[in-house]
Structure formats: structure tokens, C-alpha cells
Amino acid sequence: MPLSKNAADLSIQRLKEFADGNETFQQTYFKKHETQLLSLVKEGQNPRALFIGCSDSRVIPDLIVQSNPGDLFVVRNVGNFVAPYKPDEDFHSTAAGIEYAVLVLEVSEIIICGHSHCGAIEALYKTSCDTSMIHTAKWLTLGEKAKSMAILALGENAPREELLRATEQLSIVTQIENLLSYPYVKKMVEEDKLFIHGWYYDIETGAIEYYDPDSYQFRPLSELGD
């Protein structure tokens, strides 16, 4: 359906800043790193990790870890959820990304990165959901296990913010469990050819914590390897 002239003009005005930004990018960053960027065109990509993150506009993978083009193969969705493996021929966007990253690009690391103040997790605690949002409602069920675990650990009457932060972190752990339901992922993990990491990004401080399976705790990423 065509937009009215006023609506079209308003849309162009809203996107003008992005257009200006692209011009700046071409003239500065692209020009400065042209050799590196063109080599990625000629040689193809060889990313170090698959990054599964949330679609939240405040969480920008390359920005928060200061990675370069070609370093991360990024899959983003609402809540950084991973649906359990389902071997059918339906449409599975996140599963397709995992499959391509692991079997074609042969990444050695998978990072599942959740974050504070996640809208998907907060939605789990709302009493009602817009019935017209059928895909969102179904997708959010992938966070229900983490919610149940958080309530069990803290109690139903725990402060809401504590429950939300706990659910955000527990969801990362449950998504790792779902990821291991993919046969080829599990096989490669068992063969020490693939390593899975759970990260938690605090949008208020910019800090990242990683999940330590030995202590069942999240620790500062700066301590990784200590």
C-alpha cells in the first residue's frame, strides 16, 4: 500500500540521519580499513565465534567487545533464546544460523549473551499478552523454565528487580541446555572442537560477566582464564 506524500516525507526525514551516517562511514572507517574489508570480500569470512544475542537496540555485539568486521557471526532474536532442536522442514531462523555457523563456517566458540533490563524477560512476568502477537507469545515460552527456576530460588514474593535479574541470568543457562540438544553441537562439544559460553551484559555499566559452570555463578569477564 503506497504511503501518502506526507508520510513518505516523514519516513525519509527519520532515516536521513542513517543516510548521513553511512556517508561518514564510507569516508572515514571504510576508507581507513579498506584493505582489510576488501580482503574479507575476496577471501570470505572466517569468524572466531557465533554470537547469539538479543535484538534489543541497546545491545550491540561488535561495540561491547570492540570486535572487528569478520570476527563475529551474529544471530539476534527477542530474548537471545535458542529453541530446542527440532528436525523438521519448518522455518527456524535461529537454528539455521547455528547450523551455518557450526557446520559451514566451523566456528570454535558459541557465545549466548543475555543482558540486564531485557524486555523479553520482563514480559514473562506480565499477566496478559496481546493475543494478536501470536509469534511473540509462543517465542516467550522459551523463557518460562528460567522464570520458574528464579521463583523457586528467590520465592514468589522476592523483589521484582531481583527476580528479573535472576531470570535473565538463568535464561542464559537454559538456552545453553537447549543449544546442546542440537546433535552436531553436542558431538563437537564432547570432542572439544566447540566451546559454549554464557555471557551477561549489564547495560547500566557496560560490564560483561561469564557463566562459570564449576561454581554455578557469573563472574567478571576480565577474570576469564585466571
Other Cβ atoms within 10 Å of 75 Cβ, number: 22
- DSSP for 69-136 reads TTSEEEEEEGGG--PPP--SSS--HHHHHHHIIIIIS--SEEEEEEETT-HHHHHTT-S---TT-HHH
What angle (nearest 5°) sits at the alpha carbon of residue 62, between those of residues 100 and 53? 55
Instruction: Using the CB atoms, write b or e for 119-135: b if 16+ within 10 Å.
Output: ebbebbeeeeeeeeeee
Point out the residues that are catalytic. Answer: 54, 56, 58, 115, 118
* Distance of alpha carbon 50 from alpha carbon 31, whole angstroms: 27
Grid cell at residue 76: 539476534
Query: Coil, strand, or helix at residue 57?
Result: coil
Q: Which residues contact 197 (CB under 8 A, 6 or more apart)?
A: 109, 110, 111, 112, 210, 211
